[in-house]
Amino acid sequence: MFSALLQVLIALTALLVLQNIDAAARRTFTKADLRARQEEAVKRLGPQRRAASSSGGPGTVKNITFTNPRASVEFYVDGSTLPLVDWDVGPSWAGLLPISNKTDESRQLFFWFFPPGPEGSLDDLIFWTNGGPGCSSLEGVLQENGPISWSWGQAKATPNEYSWTNLSSIIYVEQPVGTGFSQGTPDINNEDELAEQLVGFFQQFFGVFPELEGKNFYLSGESYAGTYIPYIANYIYDNPDSIPVPLKGFWISDPSVSWDVVQEEIPAVAFVRKYQNVFALNQTFMDYLDETAAACNYADYMEKYVTFPPQGLLPLPGSSVEFDDGCDVWDAIFSAALLVNPAFDIYRIFDTYPILWDVLGFPGSFPQTQVSPLYFNRDDVKAAIHAPLNVDWTECSNINVFPNGDSSLPPALSVLPSVIERSERAVIVHGLADFILIADGCVWQWNGLQGFQTPIQNDSFIVDGMGALGNVHSERNLTYFEVALSGHMVPQFSPVAAFQIMQYLMGFREMP
């Protein structure tokens, strides 16, 4: 009897093993199978792919001409001759223009203007600036939303399928004075003076390119441009005749809009807990963070004060708008993360070793030149885009563009509510994998009502061809987006989502 039972058990065990082997075999993919799955995933984005559009490929632009001889003599860029770019990008215009019409004006800003591609609008104009303060907007051209894509780790430049030139014309400006190729001695003390100088530049720009007058105008930028843009918008709304284009709205992504204690310190420990497997910090250090957060009044701040609707103005957790002594948890986390992962990137926390090379020399938390010269330090590149040959270009300036500091209040505490109300549409975007400016420190620092009145719904941001890719919420003329998987530079890390958001800002799609 026992022998017969044993034989039955052996037979059943053998059958289960064979079934498991068969199931495992069904789950095993060849390399060809894996590649086919990947290609199928890419095809799902087919309707969004722009560079291979039937209405025109790379270098194809809508007909746009400028009658001022200076446009063709001083500023025209032949897109077929850009060094290391092996296709014709099409015509563009670049160079230096002063910030005023004074005969002795030495302060000049560098710009690069691109006309719309075949699917873009001739009725609109986007302005883009990077932040810093003092970081070059040519990063936007080459790695975010321009027609050329040469991102970290790319062997060569490729056409950007999600270039915002597929929406409209776009102008990138290296500002304020002291940034990139721009010329002159920085002398601004606050954001109002920055806005005044940029508007002065635009007055000279439209003098050379008057055919662009009357276009629907949109301001956009990221990081410290979250401070620039609201003040620039405020200046233009206060002085509507200062430039010959109507300002319709603005985009700020991963923006600096409030105090550091709000955007970095308070949400830092909760952020690490959310991505604990990514940071991989030991339990002893995590205990230290929890104890410090509790002592510094960070631990239960969100639960206590961030309610829907808000109960009132939010208090500082301590006595400083930066951090009290012993309460700089953000820096402690950064230092610990670098011990575990020397390639830890505050701009996108998922990055690991090795550090990808960057044609602009800034592939993450630290500047790093792996190939020299940097692209915009090549003499042939400078000559092609009419940049000054004697400038040692760096992505983020070594010059203090605010010589005595920026005395302006953060925009969430000053001009932001007003410019949201005066815009037709206003957009704030945040990558959820950004550690340098944390999303949870941004969403509730807005407007006199101190944030949204109702909660943000999970999985509410639906990206065409991809499905839910984060969250979106609209209230009181502001639409706020959180983009999953994206770090600090949303157009670089999640170009499909960024393109769709910009379509919404410009009114090309009714719903976010």
The CA-based dihedral angle spanning residues 9, 13, 16, 21, taken in that order and rounded to the nearest 10 degrees? -160
Please say whether the beta carbons of 477 and 417 come within 8 A: no
β-pair type (92-98, 76-77): antiparallel
Residue type, 96: L
- DSSP per position, 402-418: STT---SPPGGGTTHHH
Distances in whole angstroms, Cα of residue 142 to Cα of each of 105, 151, 152, 335, 375: 30, 7, 10, 30, 10
Q: Which residues, 6 or more positions from 409, have their beta carbon under 8 angstroms from its beta carbon? A: none
Q: Counting every residue, how long is the chain?
A: 512
Q: Token pair for residue 504?
A: 């919404």
* CA atoms 26, 28, 33, 37: torsion sign: positive
Omega before 176 within 30 of 0, i.e. cis: yes
Instruction: Give catalytic status of residue 223 as yes or no.
Output: yes
Please say whether the beta carbons of 94 and 387 come within 8 A: yes
Residue 97 phi, psi (nearest 5): -135, 145
Residue type, 61: V
Q: Which of 169, 220, 223, 258 is catalytic?
A: 223
Q: Which of 92, 434, 440, 494 is catalytic?
A: 434
| HSE toward the beta carbon, residue 408, CA cutoff 13 A | 27
Q: Which of 149, 440, 488, 494 is catalytic?
A: 488
Q: Of 88, 127, 122, 131, which Cα lies nearest the Cα of 111?
A: 127
Residues acting as catalytic residues: 223, 434, 488
